[in-house]
Structure 1
Amino acid sequence: MDTLDAAIAKLRAATDAAQQAAQAAHTYADQIAAAGHAATGGAIDPFVFRLAIFALAVFVGYYVVWSVTPALHTPLMSVTNAISSVIVVGALLSVGVAGVDSGSGFAKLVGFLALILASVNIFGGFLVTERMLAMYKKKG
């Protein structure tokens, strides 16, 4: 029984330490956000900042994908399928979970569109991967 109490005490101490670390990280993030907002004089809207990051990610993604050699295409498609499967799980949660308030009708519509597009991406990725692997099989 003493070992159980000791284990529970260690768990509580670890939980408290993790909670303090999370609060410290949250405080640091708030300070950094406030410093960034003050450095620009409050002139940059957060939406514009996030839109700029999205636009840069689109350009980086475009150049990364088009510079992939054919030998690396199959592993890249596998990673893309894995990412799309995570999107499918999130979209299913957004669309179909009745026990959770999943937002407005617009959120459900966007979740449904994400579900359809990610499913098409997964299916197409498997088709392309199958064709790429078929190129390496011996004929005859």
Structure 2
Amino acid sequence: MGNLLLLADQAAGAIGAGAQAASASGDGHLTSLVAGLTVFVLATFVGVEIITKIPPTLHTPLMSGSNAISGITLVGALLAAGEGATTVAKALGVVAVVLATINVVGGFLVTHRMLGMFRRRK
């Protein structure tokens, strides 16, 4: 865990230095990109720390819970497909909708099969 926190600290420092350089040059778009990347990197480290602390008996319910997050991804894909300004953006939005739908349906099928293992046979 110590190495992971050290790595996260180094990554945050490097990203922070990039943000300072971007803000000094006056490029607002680059600053927002760096801020987004900072949040992404730090969220990744926090997610890894949380997931590694969960006991193996709870991994399957955790997978079922992550299916709800995939539903949110599907909503985002629908918004991206509907608001696409160009044909390429709309096409990528449609691809995102298809892939997110496959992910959600697959998650429900796996959850249904998992719950079937706990049913008593008559």
TM-score range, shorter chain: 0.5 to 0.7
C-alpha distance in 2 between matches for 1:123 and 1:65: 23
Shifted more, 67-76 versus 116-125: the winner is 67-76
Among residues 77, 85, 88, which one is paired with 2:74 in the alignment?
Answer: 88
Among residues 120, 124, 128, which one is paired with 2:110 in the alignment?
Answer: 128
Among residues 49, 59, 71, which one is paired with 2:45 in the alignment?
Answer: 59
| CA displacement 1:89-136 (0-9 Å, x = unmatched) | 3322332x4xxx532233223322321221122122112212321222
Off by >6 Å, runs of 4+ in structure 1:
none
Residue correspondences, number: 97
Q: Please provide the CA RMSD for this pair.
A: 2.9
Structure whose CA Rg is larger = 1
**Contact 2:70-2:103 at 8 Å conserved across structures:** yes
Counterpart residue type for residue 58 of structure 1: T
C-alpha distance in 1 between matches for 2:102 and 2:53: 24
Specify the SS of the correspondent of 2:119: coil
For structure 2, which runs of at least 5 residues remain unmatched after alignment? 1-19, 25-29
Counterpart residue type for residue 112 of structure 1: V
**Contact 2:84-2:93 at 8 Å conserved across structures:** no
What corresponds to 1:24 in structure 2?
none
C-alpha distance in 2 between matches for 1:72 and 1:109: 38
1:116 is aligned to 2:98: yes
C-alpha distance in 2 between matches for 1:119 and 1:69: 29
Among residues 33, 48, 70, which one is paired with 1:47 in the alignment?
Answer: 33
Q: Which has the higher contact order (CA 8 A, sep 6+)?
A: 1
For structure 1, which runs of at least 5 residues remain unmatched after alignment? 1-39
